[in-house]
Amino acid sequence: MVKNKIMIPNKTIILSVFVFLVGCANQLPPGGGDVDLIPPKIISTYPPNGSINFDENTIEFEFSEYVDKRSFRDAIFISPSIDKQPEISWSGQSVELTFPEGLQDDKTYVVTIGTDVVDVNNKNRMANSFSFSFATGEIIDTRTISGKVYGKDIDGTLFFAYKLFDADTSKYLNKKPDYISQAGKDGNYKLSGLAESKYRVFAVKDELRDLLYQADQDLIGIPNTDVSLVEYDSNYVGLNFSITKIDTVKPRLISAAMTDRNHIIVTLSEVCDSTTFNAANFSIVDSSSQKILPVGYLYRNNSKQEEFVLSFTDSINTENIYYLSAKILTDVSGNIFENDFSSLTTTDKLDTSSIKVVRTNLGPKNEIDFQNPELIVYFDDAIANKEITNAVQLEDTSKNKVPFNLKFMDDATVKIKPLKDFKPEKHYVLKIDLSKFTDASGNSNKKDTLQITKFSTINGVEFTGVSGKVKSSKENIVVVLQDVSDQTKYFTAIPDNTATYSVERINAGLYSLWYFVDTNNNKVFDKGYPEPFKFAEEFGIVKDTLKLRPRWSVTDFDINIK
In this predicted structure, what is the pLDDT of residue 542? 95
Phi, psi (degrees; rounded to nearest 5) at 24? -70, -30
CA distances from 443 to 351, 356, 431, 438, 520 (A): 8, 11, 20, 6, 45
Length of the chain: 562
Relative to beta strand 158-164, strand 509-517 is: unpaired
Domains of the chain, start order: 42-245 (2.60.40.1220), 253-345 (2.60.40.1220), 357-458 (2.60.40.3710), 464-560 (2.60.40.1120)
In this predicted structure, what is the pLDDT of residue 170? 66
Give yes or no for residue 343 having a pLDDT over 70: yes
pLDDT tens track for 153-164: 898 899 999 999
Q: How many CA atoms lie within 13 A of 536 on its CB side?
A: 23
Reference 409, options 443, 382, 389, 440; nearest CA is: 382
Give yes or no for residue 369 having a pLDDT over 90: yes
Reference 561, options 494, 514, 504; nearest CA is: 514
In this predicted structure, what is the pLDDT of residue 168? 64
In this predicted structure, what is the pLDDT of residue 106? 93
pLDDT tens track for 114-146: 888 999 989 999 988 899 999 999 999 999 999
In this predicted structure, what is the pLDDT of residue 11? 45
In this predicted structure, what is the pLDDT of residue 33? 59
Segment 519-545 shows an average pLDDT of 92
Kindly state the helix (H) or strand (E) to which residue 23 belongs, with its residue range.
Answer: helix 11-25
Give yes or no for residue 63 having a pLDDT over 90: yes
